[in-house]
Amino acid sequence: MNNTATASKSAAAIDRALAEGRTALVGYLPAGYPDVQTTIDAAVALAENGTDVIEIGIPYSDPVMDGSVIQAATVQALKDGFRVSQVFDIVAGITARCDAAVLVMTYWNPVMRMGVDEFSRRLAEAGGAGLITPDLIPDEAAEWFEASDKYGLDRVFLVAPSSSPARMAMTVKASRGFVYAVSIMGVTGARENVSSAAERVVQAAHEAGAERVCVGLGVSNAEHVREIGAYAEGAIVGTALVAELGHSGVEALGKLAARLSEGTARA
Amino acid sequence: MTQSPDTPAESGKPQEAADAFLAGSSLRHAPGPYFGAFGGRWMPESLIAALDELEDTFEKAKADPEFIAQVAELNKNYSGRPSLLTEAKRFSQHAGGARIFLKREDLNHTGSHKINNVLGQALLAQRMGKTRIIAETGAGQHGVASATAAALLGMECVVYMGAEDTRRQALNVARMELLGATVVPVTAGSQTLKDAINEALRDWVANVHNTHYLLGTAAGAHPFPALVRYFHEVIGEEARAQILDQTGRLPDAVCACIGGGSNAIGIFHGFLDDRNVALYGFEAGGDGVDTGRHAATITLGRPGVLHGARSYLMQDEDGQTIESHSISAGLDYPGVGPEHSYLADIGRATYEPVTDTEAMDAFRLLCRTEGIIPAIESSHALAGALRVGKRLTEGKDNPQDVIIVVNLSGRGDKDVATAAEWFGLLPQESPEAGIGSEGEQL
Ligand SMILES: Cc1ncc(COP(=O)(O)O)c(C=O)c1O
């Protein structure tokens, strides 16, 4: 991973956790759910309870990688009038109050619509660490390479159990900050068990040269986090947090993060 | 630059592609992934391996005489190809006197062009060892065709359909179920075609080991646009030979309706390198393009990515997809296949909107003048042909020298309730009156 030239905020956050003997905890929240201020408060609550990297998802009309819980939250945010540019207010609001690395997770069309350069500039100005791009593969990312280099942003691409060795190598090389290992063939959603495919994907990413690999999809409790910590640098939790925030609010969310972080101690 | 006429303009750079076109290189058989600045693969990494496998299988199949023979055999003895080319003499009188010929895809088994693509893809799925096919459907035509192919080839079939559409089209749901398919109503998002595609993609990610996603139009991620076109190219090849046979020359214009663009690209392909043949695609203008309620993607959209391809797209300032509207469920899609965006940009094809009202007028006119009930989708092409015919014959002493071929992509049996409602043919309180309110189809 070519993260030597540019200081990567998410790599730094993960390294900090590892240096403290912890697996990095990465938490996802949809922007504007239930509203902009609550998203900021919720993210800060995550950071104060052991979350190292925050992902803020931009609600999008056609979220093909998301399961029903995250879909319901983002549909609600859009119904309530969420606008894409508010994501920069959210990122700025979070980075002003804590030092977790804040990435934006987004389907690509909203970025293209704003202009890749403009979007990147505003994200960098807001203190954002970079982008996670579920439907952008490196093959199509020429503009994003240019803008992310220009503004010093992390490029977090996804690798999957189906990735061929050649694609794994190419994607690891294209990534900066960390590589997002999709644990199963499927969409977001809490699951009983973390798939055994996850370990193989992480191993392949490491062999391709990835220094930091975080595992997402289906991760929902401290036991999952502990399991993942045995072979990966970070664990990504999404649906479980979104459901908790929706049902029980910010305080309960903080408590869930604290419980999840109990799984981060590395053997 | 010297290029053989068979070298497609496949450059990823729009200017280079447009220059190559102007320099006279062939537009036929464009292989993708890019059509000028359009196309590509804007897809989750999880699905890339499946797209690669499909591309590989497709490339090998195209070069395999056995596969080609298999497709030809099914086209002939199952679908009923070649479809006829029928001169519409009485209808033509309303087009300034231009001679209009109808490419009769309505006569295919299952009633539309959709069967061409479905049979081809189902055979590819078998070659990949996949036992389950999934499909999206709006009007129900592609779902019915997919269920048909699955029954024929002994495969499992699941069709995703917006919940809104399953209610509007209860009879097409029944049709698919009769054919042994499972229909899954999609309650996410706007509950229409684009959400059915989203849900099919979610299924595909989770079940790609045994499942082929049988996409119903020439859109989506590479290789779908080039692959779906390939199976529909037969429309244009037949039409070109038939018009030469019947009139001794090439037409002045070819007209087709545009949903995702599969029937149009299929007939256009035969004429792409005949530079004197004007190509017209007619998009759904709904209530009118200035009302916001339409599906005129190329006319009013701007480039973006949806369902795997960069193409013109109906989107708001934030890049959120805007819901489309059309009386015709098969054209009610806010995106369009990337090759059409390219043909529009380089000026090879012209895209114009046709309103619900214009389409329904043409629908009735064809019924009354030719004894053919067209699909409402195809009626958009008919209305466009009337417009083009008047334009091309204006001031001409011999209007009958103008020849227009229209792709009659499907028959209107499924649309009888909608049409009856539109024209006020149903007695009040009849059960059909309930089914037939706007956009609903039998
Ligand atoms: C009869 C008919 N024509 C046209 C279409 C539009 O699709 P496409 O643009 O892919 O040909 C449909 C779609 O359902 C259809 O049923």
Q: Say how far apart CA B306 and CA B198 lie, in whole Å.
A: 10
| CA separation, residue B430 to residues A39, A266, B434, B436 (Å) | 52, 71, 7, 10
* Residue B13 confidence (pLDDT): 54
B-chain residue closest to A159, CA distance: B45
Q: Which helix (DSSP H) or strand (DSSP E) does residue B348 occupy?
A: none
For the stretch A236-266, pLDDT in tens is: 999 999 999 999 999 999 999 999 999 999 9
In this structure, what token pair is assigned to residue B272?
A: 């792409």
Least Cα separation, residue A61 to chain B (angstroms): 5
| CA separation, residue B238 to residues B235, B270, B271 (Å) | 5, 8, 11
B10, B55, B105, B136: the active-site residue: B136
* Residue A188 confidence (pLDDT): 87
In this structure, what token pair is assigned to residue A211?
A: 């220094």
- With CB atoms and an 8 Å threshold, state whether A67 touches B209: no
Report the separation in Å between the CA atom of B439 and the middle of ligand 1, taken as the mean of its atom positions: 15
Q: What is the mean pLDDT of residues A180-206?
A: 91
In this structure, what token pair is assigned to residue B213?
A: 């996603």
- With CB atoms and an 8 Å threshold, state whether A134 touches B307: no
Q: What angle do CA B132, B127, B186 make, to 5 degrees?
A: 25
Determine contact, residues A74/A30, Cβ cutoff 8 Å: yes
Determine contact, residues B105/B239, Cβ cutoff 8 Å: no
φ, ψ for residue B324, nearest 5 deg: -95, 165
For the stretch B240-269, pLDDT in tens is: 999 999 999 999 999 999 999 999 999 999
Residue found under tokens 């996670």:
A132
* 8-state DSSP, A196: T
Comparing CB atoms, the residue among A75, A83, A167 nearest residue B48 is A167
Q: What is the mean pLDDT of residues B3-29?
A: 62
Q: Which amino acids bring their CB within 6 angstroms of ligand 1? A: B 112, 114, 138-139, 141-142, 217, 257-264, 330-331, 375, 377-378, 409-410
For the stretch B369-378, pLDDT in tens is: 999 999 999 9
Comparing CB atoms, the residue among B198, B209, B318 nearest residue A62 is B198
| Per-residue pLDDT at B440 exceeds 80 | no
User: Residue whose CA is closest, atom 1 of ligand 1?
Assistant: B410
Out of A222-226, B215-219, B323-327, B370-374, least confident range: B323-327
- With CB atoms and an 8 Å threshold, state whether A113 touches B317: yes
Task: Provide the mean pLDDT of chain B.
Answer: 92
Out of A26-30, A76-80, A233-237, B428-432, least confident range: B428-432
Determine contact, residues B106/B378, Cβ cutoff 8 Å: yes
Place B164 in a pLDDT band, splitting at 50, 70 and 90. Answer: confident
* 8-state DSSP, B410: B
Cβ contacts of B318 on chain A, cutoff 8 Å = 83-84, 110, 113-114
B-chain residue closest to A201, CA distance: B46
Report the separation in Å between the CA atom of B158 and the middle of ligand 1, taken as the mean of its atom positions: 20
Cβ contacts of B194 on chain A, cutoff 8 Å = 62
Residues across chain A: 267
Task: Provide the mean pLDDT of chain A.
Answer: 95
Cα end-to-end span (Å), chain B: 54
In this structure, what token pair is assigned to residue B350?
A: 């012209």
Report the separation in Å between the CA atom of B409 and the middle of ligand 1, taken as the mean of its atom positions: 7
* Residue B15 confidence (pLDDT): 66
Q: How many CB pairs under 8 A join A and B?
A: 111
- With CB atoms and an 8 Å threshold, state whether A135 touches B44: yes
Any residues with CB less than 8 A from the CB of B102 and at least 6 apart, and which? B85, B86, B87, B88, B370, B372, B405, B406, B408
Q: What is the mean pLDDT of residues A81-105?
A: 98
* Residue B6 confidence (pLDDT): 37
- With CB atoms and an 8 Å threshold, state whether A67 touches B189: no
| Per-residue pLDDT at B22 exceeds 80 | no
User: Residue whose CA is closest, atom 4 of ligand 1?
Assistant: B377
Q: Say how far apart CA B100 and CA A74 lie, in whole Å.
A: 50
Q: What angle do CA A4, A140, B7 make, to 5 degrees?
A: 135
Confidence (pTM): 0.94
Q: What is the mean pLDDT of residues B106-135?
A: 98
Any residues with CB less than 8 A from the CB of B360 and at least 6 apart, and which? B327, B376, B379, B419, B422, B423
| Of B361, B276, B334, the residue nearest B95 (C-alpha) | B361
Place B190 in a pLDDT band, splitting at 50, 70 and 90. Answer: confident
ipTM of the complex: 0.95
| CA separation, residue B255 to residues A30, B277, B281, B284, B380 (Å) | 45, 10, 6, 14, 9
- With CB atoms and an 8 Å threshold, state whether B305 touches A135: yes
Percent of chain A residues topping a pLDDT of 70:
98
| Per-residue pLDDT at B16 exceeds 80 | no
Determine contact, residues B149/B118, Cβ cutoff 8 Å: yes
| CA separation, residue A15 to residues A44, A190, B206, B416 (Å) | 20, 27, 33, 66
Determine contact, residues B326/B295, Cβ cutoff 8 Å: yes
* Residue A194 confidence (pLDDT): 80
Determine contact, residues A210/A29, Cβ cutoff 8 Å: no
* Residue B434 confidence (pLDDT): 55
Q: Say how far apart CA B277 and CA B404 lie, in whole Å.
A: 9
**How many CA atoms, within 13 angstroms, populate the side-chain half-sphere of residue B168?**
26
B429 is catalytic: no
For the stretch B390-410, pLDDT in tens is: 999 999 999 999 999 999 999
B136 is catalytic: yes
The dihedral built from the CA positions of residue A69, A71, A76 and A80, taken in this order, carries a sign that is: positive
Three-state secondary structure readout of B192-225: CHHHHHHHHHHHHHHHCCCEEECCCCCCCCCCHH
For the stretch B281-335, pLDDT in tens is: 999 999 999 999 999 999 999 999 999 999 999 999 999 999 999 999 899 999 9
Cα end-to-end span (Å), chain A: 26
Prior bond to A30 cis, omega within 30?
Answer: no
| CA separation, residue B31 to residues A42, A162, B158, B311, B344 (Å) | 48, 25, 29, 16, 18
**Residue B45 CA to chain centroid, in angstroms?**
27
